Amino acid sequence: MNTKDIITSWKKKKFAPFYWFEGDEPYFIDSLVNYAEHELLTPEEASFNLNIFYGKDANWADILNACRKYPMFSDKQVVLLKEAQLMPDKDLEKLEPYFKEPLGSTIFIVSYKGKGIDKRKSISKTLAKSGNLVEFKKFHDSKVPAWIDSYLSSKGLQMTAKGVSLLFDHIGNDLGRIANEIGKLEVNLKGKSTLDEDDIEKYIGISKEYNIFELSAAIAYRNLPKAVRILNYIEANPKPFPLQLTLPALYSGISRAYIAFEKTDPGSMFYGGPEGRNQGLAIMKNYGKQGVEKMILLLHEYNLKAIGIDDGNASHPALLKEVVVRIMTD
């Protein structure tokens, strides 16, 4: 089961008696729990038949009592246990008897984020056997641009390839944050169906000239003057460019270029549309395999400096400028 399948079945009034959503991709879990909270019952039904518990404060006996009561003025009730990973394991295990014999008129939904329940536990085996345990793994970087396109399409929107790359390179694979930023664009650009980098700059605050995507491009094409202009901008505006996020963003494209040397179709290693593909191929052409390997070693070295190891007390913008210049000139 995936998010779309589950919501489709819910819209058709087809419910399992319980769902256990777990994993290290919180966006999908939160989306399902939010939908269940606001859409499975009408407002009138929810006033009698919606019970919400939070793992940090919940008492297992109260949860069981809520699950085992019958709905009022409705054929279904919804019980949500949010942040179940904060509940002591011994208390969670007290819920296992209910999972073995759930009440058909209750829709019990558990949100267990950041990890999965211990597979050695009896409750894990019970959940797995039921078929109602759904794991959401962290979204891989390579899938994020396509997900952005799909998410926009679901809202009747589209975005230029450069806009998608700009959004992804600045935010990374935090799907929740990407969705929030697209929400800002949606609110501010009612009536506009195609979004671009100008809209991103105006309403999200990501400069279309001075950003990680353009810095990566400057490195790829060995355009040192452009790289220095961007680095100077980052030095003057460091807050949106923490080194711990900027270095992995640069590493992502460079590491794919290193792997691409072994591929019969090197261009298939790069995403972000034609621009991303051309940029990746430019890295390969302008630096060669040995040069790309050297770039990776430099990024590892400066990643250690970013956490304070042998950094010489240099500021993060200064370290970024140093590593980029070394990459392009050594």
pLDDT tens-digit series, residues 4-42: 999 999 999 999 999 999 999 999 999 999 999 999 999
Per the prediction, the chain carries an average pLDDT of 93
Contacts of 155 (CB under 8 A, 6+ apart): 182, 186
Separation CA 178–CA 171 (nearest Å):
7
Q: Report the CATH architecture of 3-135.
A: 3-Layer(aba) Sandwich (3.40)
Strands 133-135 and 106-113: unpaired
- CATH of region 212-329, choose from 3.90.930, 1.10.3470, 1.20.272, 1.10.1740: 1.20.272
Residue 28 phi/psi, 5° resolution?
-70, -40
- What are the tokens at 188? 């501010």
How much of the chain exceeds pLDDT 90, in percent? 75
Alpha-carbon distance of 55 to 32, in angstroms, equals: 17
Res 268 pLDDT > 90: no
pLDDT for 270: 85
Mean pLDDT of 297-309: 91
- Calculate ∠ Cα 327-329-330, nearest 5°: 75
Pick the CATH number of 141-203 from 1.10.150.20, 3.40.50.700, 1.10.8.60, 3.90.550.10: 1.10.8.60
Instruction: Write out pLDDT tens, residues 36-51.
Output: 999 999 999 999 999 9
Query: 58-102, pLDDT tens digit by residue?
Result: 999 999 999 999 999 999 999 999 999 999 999 999 999 999 999
